[in-house]
Amino acid sequence: MTLLEGRHIPSHMIRERISGAAVGSAAALAACAAIAQGRVGGLFEMSIEELREVRVVSMSRRAEPLDQAAASIFVITAEDIRRAGVRSIPEALRLAPGVEVARNGASSWTISMRGFNSDLSNKLLVLIDGRSVYSPLFAGVFWDVQDTLLADVDRIEVIAGPGGSIWGANAVNGVINIITSTAEETQGGFVEVGGGARHGEFLGFRYGGSIDENSSGRFYIKHFDRASTQARDGGDAMDAWQMSQGGFNIGWDVDENDRMTFRGDIYDGKESALLRGDFTLGTLPDFNVPGTVEVAGSNLLGRWRRQLESEGGLRLQAYFDHTERAIPGSFDEERTTYDLDFQHDLPSTRRHRFAWGLGMRVTSDDIRNTLFATFEPASRTDRTLSSFLQDRISFWDGRLGVILGAKLEHNDYTGFEHQPSVRLTWRIDDRSVAWAAVSRAVRTPARLNTDLRLTAPIPNAGTPAPLYVNVSGSPDYQSEELLAYEAGYRLQVTTDLSFDVALFRNIYDHLQTQEVGALEVVGEPPAHILLPATLANGMQGDSHGGTLIVNWQTMPRWRFQVQYAYLDLDFALKPQSTDVNGLDLAGNSPRHQLALYSFAELPHGWSSYLGARYVDALPSQGIDSYIAADANLEWRPSDDFSASFTVQNLNDRRHLEFGDGTFIERSAYIRLSWMF
């Protein structure tokens, strides 16, 4: 049995994110660029106090100091990623406080923030260089295909809390913005190779150069082959994973005020899996049939920026995104998305920094239906129109800031949706800042919520005839709503010690339920039994919690970071609801998460990383609490060459992280990189 947001449904598809439908560490950008160009020591050349001036873009879509952001925002830098030795974006997200990262298998992850974690997590907006990667099929993210050459990642900005007033629908519990380095920052060649136990082999190549005096470019290719994980019965889970990907980035300074950027990626991969066989009503399929899930995709993005006086500017961005996913016995999906976004930052005045923008997205899919998962219609085109306004108003010589913002969208499912926010920042003195916010955000319906009809057989049900759960979407499905209250405080105790505290209370309405009907006996041979259910909005929720981050530079070349996250979730069914498992959703996320990270530079070109994470139990998933320790030792004898040795789950031979996932075993690998 598997779970979709706390609801028991049988199926393999949980790993593929659809079956369940049965439904800072902050471092200066200058330091990141130094790392990308091969220079070392960037992180430790700056004090924690100086790192407060890091500029981030995810809160207002324009650069602002991290210390002044009126939100719980954390930056994972290129330096953090390299020193931790991680090999994927989901692994890198473990470095951020409060992010719930659970691995289900070789290629399967569940990732969320502030609760609601599941194989179909759908309240988290993820962007890569300004391109939204959430799937309109289920309003979540297929994490197995979100990849790039990690050496090109400049930083990952992680916002805990709603960002709907800027980014729109589905930025409910958080926003993750993955930002890669510019072509100018990645000149020359770069090669990495590696491999080891449980990780298989991986390799990457990048080359960048000047096209002319005003433009630069780079291209990359990468490939990896990950071994299968261990099944719960001790055997091979048969979920080996291989992926090849390439891409390019071109930056062109048209003149002193105008800049053009073009980038794109293409990927192709295969994921081994144990699938269910084909079936007809009245028969039960073979289960755990070895098969292969095929994934492929490509994207192309263009962006124009014009700098105006007094921090003003214009930005026009357009991208194309095509994805393919073929799951034998379940469904095949091809999707093409076109997105256009315009933003105007007006020149700043003494009190005001005003920005506005318009956007349009058109996404079309073509689905090959099966008896297991049927979408009606099989092909659909959806359009979303949007606009946003934001004004940052300064008082008392900038010590008090009021940020008023709102996003207005029109979608084909629920019509118009509004997402306003009010945020305050108060610079108490030169070492401390307080902030508070009230926001509304929505998670709009996806194809799964309105158009899906899922027929999932239940083996060994003990009924006189084969039993099937039959789940249908509803055209009346509403947007899930959030009203969020947040507050935070940042304190620079000394040049080497800082604290960051954020608290929140979230009130949810119209949360998804499965409204169960009466059993239906179908007598036509072969006889079978149906348990019907309809997706609806029959649940409310309330959550509160917070995060604490402590940065301590014990010595010039040794930095500690302590992270703690607390979460308390409470759900209640509405009087008319017949959902029997919806309340279990509260037990899908850890109440407590605690992490300790150590980054140290050692003599003779050596550096070390040690990270230990405590993750509390997941009662609804049957997952015990666990501690996972990771370590990375790197030797960099010159600016051009490095060798590292990484061990994951150093303290633990194996453990489970979510649902009916496979064992996550201890693993080790080496990595060699050369810049030329």
Give the pLDDT confidence of 69-112 residue by residue, as tens digits: 889 999 999 999 999 999 999 999 999 999 999 999 999 999 99
Question: Degrees (nearest 5) of the Cα angle 441, 72, 400?
Answer: 95
DSSP annotation string for 160-197:
ES--HHHH-TT-SSEEEEEEEPPGGGS-EEEEEEEEEE
Rounded CA gap, 430 and 444, in Å? Answer: 41
Structure tokens at 264: 């794109």
Q: Which amino acid is at 613?
A: R
- How would you classify residue 653: left for phi > 0, otherwise alpha for psi between -120 and 50, otherwise beta? alpha
- For 136: left if phi > 0, alpha if psi spans -120 to 50, otherwise beta; the answer is alpha
Q: Using pLDDT thresholds of 50, 70 and 90, give the confidence band for residue 49.
A: low
pLDDT tens profile 293-305: 999 999 999 999 9
Look at residue 52 in the predicted model and tell me its pLDDT.
60
- Distance CA(573)–CA(590), nearest Å, equals 22
Q: Which two tokens stand for residue 552?
A: 């301590």
Each residue's pLDDT tens digit, 254-291: 999 999 999 999 999 999 999 988 888 888 888 889 99
Residue 129 backbone zone (phi > 0: left; psi -120 to 50: alpha; other: beta): left
The four Cα atoms 121, 127, 128, 131 give a dihedral, to 10 degrees, of: 120
Label residue 50 by pLDDT band (50, 70, 90). low
In this structure, the dihedral spanned by the alpha carbons of residues 620, 621, 625 and 629, taken in order and rounded to 10 degrees, is: -150
Distance from C-alpha of 353 to C-alpha of 404, rounded to nearest angstrom: 11
Give 49's strand partners.
none
Inter-residue contact 25 to 37 (CB < 8 Å): no
pLDDT value at position 34?
32
Would you put residue 591 in left (φ > 0), alpha (ψ -120 to 50) or beta? alpha
Degrees, nearest 5: CA angle 335-337-342: 170
Any idea what DSSP says for residue 240?
-
Bridge-partner residues for 67, per DSSP?
A: none
Residues for the chain: how many in total?
Answer: 676
Token reading at 192:
């990495």
Name residues whose C-beta falls within 8 Å of residue 564's C-beta, 6 or more positions apart in sequence.
97, 547, 548, 592, 593, 594, 595
Q: What is the pLDDT of residues 172-220, one digit of tens each?
A: 999 999 999 999 999 999 999 999 987 789 999 999 999 999 999 999 9
- pLDDT tens-place string over residues 487-536: 999 999 998 999 999 999 999 999 999 999 999 999 877 889 999 999 99
Tokens read off for 649: 């789950």
- Specify the pLDDT at position 512: 96
Q: What is the pTM of this model?
A: 0.91
What distance lies between CA 502 and its chain's CA centroid? 20
Which residues span the domain enclosing 440?
2-675
Say whether 91 sits in a helix, a strand or coil: helix
Please choose, from the candidates 583, 584, 568, the residue with its C-alpha nearest in 3D space to the C-alpha of residue 538. 583
Tell me the percentage of the chain whose pLDDT exceeds 70. 92
The identity of residue 509, as a single letter, is: D
pLDDT value for 305: 96
> And the tokens for 614?
């405590």
Residue 36 in this model has a pLDDT that exceeds 80: no
Two tokens, residue 65: 């100091």
Which residue stretches of 203-253 are H helix? none
Q: Which of 151, 162, 158, 145 is nearest to 186 (CA)?
A: 151
Instruction: Look up residue 640 and give its DSSP letter.
Output: S
Q: What is the 3-state secondary structure (H, E, C) of 471-489?
A: EECCCCCCCEEEEEEEEEE
d(CA 44, CA 41): 6
Cα-Cα-Cα-Cα torsion 442, 448, 454, 460, nearest 10 degrees, comes to -50
330: closest CA among 64, 20, 590, 644? Answer: 20
What sign results for the dihedral spanned by CA atoms 31, 36, 40, 43? Answer: positive
- Helix, strand, coil fractions of the chain, as percent rounded to 5: 10, 60, 30
| Interval 544-565 mean pLDDT | 94
* Domains identified in the chain, total number: 1
Mean pLDDT of the chain: 89
Q: What are 419-444's pLDDT values in tens digits?
A: 999 999 999 998 999 999 999 999 99
342-400 pLDDT tens trace:
999 998 888 999 999 999 999 999 999 999 999 999 999 999 999 999 999 999 988 99
Let me know: does 548 contact 564? Beta carbons within 8 Å.
yes
pLDDT at 65 over 80: no
3-class SS at 586?
helix
Nearest residue to 168 (alpha-carbon basis) of 339, 324, 46, 50 = 339
Whether 23 has a pLDDT exceeding 50, the answer reads no
Q: Is 110 helix (H, G, I), strand (E, B) or coil?
A: strand
Half-sphere exposure of 475 (CA within 13 A, CB side): 2
CATH number at residue 385: 2.40.170.20
